[in-house]
Structure 1
Amino acid sequence: MNAQVTGVIVVGAGGAGLTLATELALAGVPAVVLDRLPGRNLQSRAGAIQPRTAEMLALRGLLDDTLGRSIDYRLVGGHFAGLPVPLDYAAWDTRYPHPVLLPQDQLEAVLEDRLVELGGQVLREHRLTGLRQDADGVTVTVTAPDGDRTLRGRHLVACDGAHSSVRKIIGAAFPGEAATARMATADLVLTGDVDDSTTGHISSRIHTSPQGHFAMITPLANGLHKLILSGPRTMAAERDAPVTTEEVREVLQATHGGKVDVAEIRYASRFSNASRQLEQYRHGRVLFAGDSAHIHSPAGGQGLNLGVQDAFNLGWKLAAVLRGEVAEDLLDTYQAERHPVAARVLALTRAQGVVMGPQRDGGVPELRDVLTDLLRLPDANRYMAGVMAGLDLCLPSPDAAPHPLLGLRMPDVDLDLGDGEPPVRFSDLTRTGRGVLLDLAEAPLAAAAAWSDRITRVRARAISGSPDAEAVLVRPDGYVCWAGGAGLAETLTRWFGPAGRAGDGTSG
């Protein structure tokens, strides 16, 4: 059986997989996305885009379409454990200081549309059944509607979710904590006194009962609502058991006193607070991103965002390797940069689970009161807002005394390019997926010309929010890797490969 050959095999057409495939396609690297389902999962599932994810989508010109599909409902701010103090994202100088309510299937639609536009493809009803890697690539066997087939790629990236087939096939350990709580989520039609206000903090939507019931209702489009629920019946249910009308009605009765009832369940699924993470995100030529690399409680709404940001970090690096510009060890920085981020999210979600636990647990009400008071302090609120939104991330730097901007996200400043045209934003310069060398003071950067095939040099004047540097080099994922001074050539070599090396390899 002849194998179909591609650059990268991506397993899983969720948020992480589609983001990764889109980044690869933008860089001219062929990729095939395999997904076992016959079509896109239409359940809302993850429901919010955090500010840092919005910023990254803006880097590729994907945000306007994303916002156009969002629900007309704006939270006052973010939250930690549903406590009644909004997190002020505006304190982090972002253009997107509110979570964007967006069902996951709508983000996936935006990403898949862009992927197809770039010439990529998603092969539906393709179930991975075997995987073998060698020194040159990865070969997989797949069961498809027209029979078994074989594909081969230089690398494979597993984005196939919490119950990853790839993880199981290669025997990658997935250590962590088993579930102690089981929940369900449903997109449904409700009747009765449902609060459809378009503003408000999430704390106003959380309802509990002394018997351990939990319900949070959020409006969706077309008369639907999203309900996240738990209770004694849900806690005892098997993972694959259907979510029943009786189960939902019991929770609504306990939390809303009969004021709200269920008329129809459109989609429903179960999840838990299990918390696990791969020790290594790279196993030879197989890499992991999204829920296949880490799982956790959805408290705080970080899961989809974590996976999409994994893909933005990995995509440009993998493309550079396959184009022959950099050595394979660039992929090791993916582990170094993203593993600690997920580890922190796992810790945060476990902490939130304690705080959101049943009120009868000893000390929980007092703990909530203490944390609520802390979050009212501006410095504490800013810290937690940065953590929850992903805006505070600072990537590790090899410099002994790094510039204050190194490793931080590049602000989306307004720029005057001096050509008589209207001002542009920094994010307007990143649509091609290349690195950007932004010259803000006519700095002597002639050496960078040797990398002109891999980075875009822009001379501009910052109109507002100017970074404190004469020039900055920004990676394709939006993080500053050099900020004036010595070492530009060394930094360009580290992240974009030696001058003149482009094209030495192959993307096939």
Structure 2
Amino acid sequence: MPFHTSHPIDVVVAGAGPVGLFLACELGLAGLSITVLEQAADPHSPLKRLPLGMRGLSISTIEAFYRRGMLDAVEQAQRGNEQSGATRASAHWAREERRSGGHFAGIPIFLDQVDTERWRHHLPGRTGYHLMADIASLESVLAERAASLGVDIRRGVQVTGVVQSEHGVTVQAGGAAIAARCLVGCDGGRSAVRKLAGFDFVGTEPEFTGYSLDVELDDPGMLRPGRTYTPQGMYTFAPPGTVAMVDFDGGAFHRGQPPTREHVQEVLRRVSGTDVAVTAVRQATTWTDRARQASGYRTGRVLLAGDAAHIHSPLGGQGLNLGIGDAMNLGWKLAATLRGTAPVGLLDTYEHERHPVGAKVLDWSRAQVALIRPSPASRALEAIMRDLIGTRDGATYVAERVWGLSLRYDLGGSHPLVGRSVPDFVFADGTATGALLEGGQGLWLDFDLRAPARELASRWGRRIRYAARDVKDGLGLAGVLVRPDGIVAWAGEHGTPLAGAEAAARRWFGEPRM
């Protein structure tokens, strides 16, 4: 397919949530012209703020913000939340006496149980293992960065039509036709782009309706703090009024009318088995455990990312992290394709790499649903899982999955670091790897300070940044070639020939300059 066509807009991104904005920033960083279309006219929804807007960021998501120079702003927003007390009040597992780094179906992963020494190729550094942030703060940071990169964000504009041709995509939105070279749907679980472009969306139907609530209670003492399983379902409670609960109704109430005070009280009484009185509902939203995934992430010039490509229950907080991973993986590949520097088939690797990751997260979500069903079998299984997660091996395994440390793309190559996130190497001058990736280029780290490596890297010009540095702990490596998304494409120990590095550079960055 010829991508070298002339349109005033390179890419239209549908959706101005964190995934759409992050992708827009990646494409804007590459110098492309980007327009973001967002259906909602007002970005300031109370559901995006604490307490209901809180999300746990995995290591891969934290690294993505760090490697693009936005982590300081995200952490500043987080510190403001902590000072207000909102973060701790809205996380039921944060009330545990031991420090927790996430959970699996409500079973906490305690940090003192996790054996971080097993992750030989992960260097503790700037990012840490876990960070809490609210959606409003993330969108604010990303929107500011997007604006600085010249991204055009249009709000109150709904996508109503998509027509592809050999030369581009015409997007009908807001009563106008917008011509672009590509369209990416980041417009959520009910994605208009996915439906209009004809993607198959397959998976499993829901077992329950979930509720996330900020309420006033007549007597909060009637509810147990933390997570409680009952014969009718499950609820979690963080005093004075943050409640999450699941009602195994087959998802019947979700997408119906907004939950009223009377309805919330009726369901909470049934699920909790108490006569608790709800006097007011400040915020309320519903969700289900429906788990579906697009059978493919691309059709022609239309691609999907985030919830538009996959939906599942929010149990364990994997959705946002999965979507940011999509955007980080797709951005540089789509940019290189549109700029004409990509090797053949580069854009196809987006689906090949990310689709299996999405499928695993859907199964991870389904496994948690199996633990919270209101049945004796699920209670027995939950007790066994609690014992396993309480062991060092179990806690380490679950932490590796929840924090994103298990991510490894199958890129070939014999070194165990290939396909994984590059360690945050710290150099003698105090510079760290993450700072060298802020420009969105590839990165060649040369710890042996070899002239042949410098000459080889220079053949790719600005596509690959070369850095010859003395490293404090190079994990025994002589050099590392890193993709723009921070994934290691080649790693060589001392004495390793550079032929493998050259082959990896051609594979991911195209042909060198003559």
Q: Determine whether 1:313 maps to 2:326.
A: no
Given that 2:447 and 2:479 are in contact with CA atoms closer than 8 Å, whether structure 1 keeps it comes out as yes
Alignment of 1:78-97 (within 5 A): 78-86=102-110, 91=116, 92=119, 93=122, 94-95=124-125, 96-97=127-128
Q: What's the counterpart of residue 59 of structure 2?
A: 51
% identical equivalent positions = 37
The DSSP-based 3-state class of the residue aligned with 1:157 is strand
Q: Determine whether 1:356 maps to 2:372.
A: yes
Taking the aligned partners of 1:387 and 1:356, their CA distance within structure 2 comes to 19
Q: Which of 461, 475, 485 is the matching residue for 1:477?
A: 485
Q: What's the counterpart of residue 198 of structure 1?
A: none
CA displacement 1:248-273 (0-9 Å, x = unmatched): 33455567787976554343222111
Displacement after TM superposition at 1:412 (Å): 1.4
Q: What's the counterpart of residue 423 of structure 2?
A: 411
Displacement after TM superposition at 1:102 (Å): 1.6
Q: Which of 6, 24, 28 is the matching residue for 1:25?
A: 28
Displacement after TM superposition at 1:404 (Å): 1.5
The DSSP-based 3-state class of the residue aligned with 1:122 is strand
Taking the aligned partners of 2:220 and 2:323, their CA distance within structure 1 comes to 36
Q: What's the counterpart of residue 261 of structure 2?
A: 245
Letter in 2 for 1:60: R
Taking the aligned partners of 2:401 and 2:145, their CA distance within structure 1 comes to 29
Q: Which of 289, 303, 327 is the matching residue for 2:305?
A: 289
CA displacement 1:213-252 (0-9 Å, x = unmatched): x322458xxxx96432233789542513101112333455
TM-score by length of 2: 0.85
Pick closer, same or farther for the CA change 1:51–1:238 going to 2, 3 Å: closer
Taking the aligned partners of 1:342 and 1:89, their CA distance within structure 2 comes to 25
Taking the aligned partners of 1:217 and 1:56, their CA distance within structure 2 comes to 32
The DSSP-based 3-state class of the residue aligned with 1:22 is helix
Segments of 5+ residues of structure 1 without an aligned counterpart are: 196-202, 418-422, 502-508
Letter in 2 for 1:489: E
The DSSP-based 3-state class of the residue aligned with 1:183 is strand
Letter in 1 for 2:380: E
The DSSP-based 3-state class of the residue aligned with 2:444 is strand
The DSSP-based 3-state class of the residue aligned with 1:79 is strand
Given that 1:174 and 1:279 are in contact with CA atoms closer than 8 Å, whether structure 2 keeps it comes out as yes
Taking the aligned partners of 2:250 and 2:132, their CA distance within structure 1 comes to 26
Q: Which of 193, 201, 204 is the matching residue for 1:174?
A: 201
The DSSP-based 3-state class of the residue aligned with 1:175 is strand
Q: Which of 142, 153, 167 is the matching residue for 2:180?
A: 153
Given that 2:197 and 2:302 are in contact with CA atoms closer than 8 Å, whether structure 1 keeps it comes out as no
Q: What's the counterpart of residue 369 of structure 1?
A: 383
Displacement after TM superposition at 1:329 (Å): 1.7
Letter in 1 for 2:10: G
Q: What's the counterpart of residue 499 of structure 1?
A: 512
Alignment of 1:56-71 (within 5 A): 56-70=64-78, 71=81
Taking the aligned partners of 1:264 and 1:64, their CA distance within structure 2 comes to 37
Given that 1:215 and 1:251 are in contact with CA atoms closer than 8 Å, whether structure 2 keeps it comes out as no
Taking the aligned partners of 1:280 and 1:334, their CA distance within structure 2 comes to 10
Q: What's the counterpart of residue 277 of structure 1?
A: 293
Q: What's the counterpart of residue 385 of structure 1?
A: 399
Q: Which of 342, 345, 366 is the matching residue for 1:329?
A: 345
CA displacement 1:150-169 (0-9 Å, x = unmatched): 11111111111111111111
Alignment of 1:451-462 (within 5 A): 451-462=460-471
Taking the aligned partners of 1:90 and 1:286, their CA distance within structure 2 comes to 42
The DSSP-based 3-state class of the residue aligned with 1:102 is strand
Displacement after TM superposition at 1:494 (Å): 1.2
Taking the aligned partners of 2:37 and 2:215, their CA distance within structure 1 comes to 29
Q: Determine whether 1:183 maps to 2:187.
A: no
**Bigger mean CA offset, 150-159 vs 63-72:** 63-72
Letter in 2 for 1:205: G
Taking the aligned partners of 1:397 and 1:98, their CA distance within structure 2 comes to 25
CA displacement 1:401-420 (0-9 Å, x = unmatched): x2121011111122124xxx
Segments of 5+ residues of structure 2 without an aligned counterpart are: 1-5, 89-93, 95-99
Taking the aligned partners of 2:276 and 2:472, their CA distance within structure 1 comes to 52
Displacement after TM superposition at 1:65 (Å): 1.0
Q: What's the counterpart of residue 427 of structure 1?
A: 434
Q: What's the counterpart of residue 448 of structure 1?
A: 457
The DSSP-based 3-state class of the residue aligned with 1:269 is strand
Pick closer, same or farther for the CA change 1:110–1:264 going to 2, 3 Å: farther
Root-mean-square deviation (Å): 2.6
The DSSP-based 3-state class of the residue aligned with 1:130 is strand
Pick closer, same or farther for the CA change 1:247–1:413 going to 2, 3 Å: farther
Q: What's the counterpart of residue 505 of structure 1?
A: none
CA displacement 1:364-403 (0-9 Å, x = unmatched): 222112212222332332222111111111111233xx21
Q: Determine whether 1:304 maps to 2:320.
A: yes
Displacement after TM superposition at 1:80 (Å): 1.2
Taking the aligned partners of 1:89 and 1:332, their CA distance within structure 2 comes to 36
The DSSP-based 3-state class of the residue aligned with 2:449 is coil
Pick closer, same or farther for the CA change 1:58–1:190 going to 2, 3 Å: farther
- Aligned residues between the structures: 473
Taking the aligned partners of 1:313 and 1:226, their CA distance within structure 2 comes to 35
Displacement after TM superposition at 1:97 (Å): 4.4
Taking the aligned partners of 2:241 and 2:171, their CA distance within structure 1 comes to 40
Q: What's the counterpart of residue 15 of structure 2?
A: 12
Q: What's the counterpart of residue 347 of structure 1?
A: 363
Pick closer, same or farther for the CA change 1:218–1:468 going to 2, 3 Å: farther
Taking the aligned partners of 1:255 and 1:101, their CA distance within structure 2 comes to 28
Given that 2:8 and 2:179 are in contact with CA atoms closer than 8 Å, whether structure 1 keeps it comes out as yes
Pick closer, same or farther for the CA change 1:294–1:233 going to 2, 3 Å: closer
Taking the aligned partners of 2:264 and 2:47, their CA distance within structure 1 comes to 16
Taking the aligned partners of 2:133 and 2:230, their CA distance within structure 1 comes to 28
CA displacement 1:157-213 (0-9 Å, x = unmatched): 111111111111122111111112111223445675489xxxxxxx9621343333x
Displacement after TM superposition at 1:86 (Å): 2.8
Taking the aligned partners of 1:439 and 1:404, their CA distance within structure 2 comes to 18
Given that 2:7 and 2:179 are in contact with CA atoms closer than 8 Å, whether structure 1 keeps it comes out as yes
Q: What's the counterpart of residue 140 of structure 2?
A: 109
Given that 1:35 and 1:122 are in contact with CA atoms closer than 8 Å, whether structure 2 keeps it comes out as yes
Q: What's the counterpart of residue 210 of structure 1?
A: 231
